[in-house]
Amino acid sequence: MKKLHESAIQKIDINSSSFWHATHTDSPIALGLMDRQRVKMWMRDVYRDLDDVGV
């Protein structure tokens, strides 16, 4: 499983946000465009990895 970019992790953690909420909100404390895209791609890859092992 790939590691999520550290800046995205920190911003999600600081805001006590879920991964879904972090990528689907436009509030002033939301992730920027680049981090939002990183999280979406990371989530896609994680779900694909989980499907591959049958979880």
**pLDDT tens digits along 1-55:** 889 999 889 988 988 888 888 888 777 667 888 888 999 999 999 999 999 997 6
In a domain, 1, yes or no: no
In a domain, 28, yes or no: yes
pLDDT in the model for residue 39: 92
Cα–Cα dist 27/47, whole Å: 26
pLDDT in the model for residue 4: 93
CA 35 to chain centre: 8
Residue with tokens 């992790």: 9
3-state secondary structure string, 19-42? HHHHHCCCCCCCCCHHHHHHHHHH
Q: How many domains does the chain have?
A: 1
In a domain, 27, yes or no: yes
The pair of structure tokens assigned to 35 is 């981090």
Record the pTM.
Answer: 0.78
Domain range for 32 is 6-53
pLDDT in the model for residue 28: 62
Cα–Cα dist 46/14, whole Å: 22
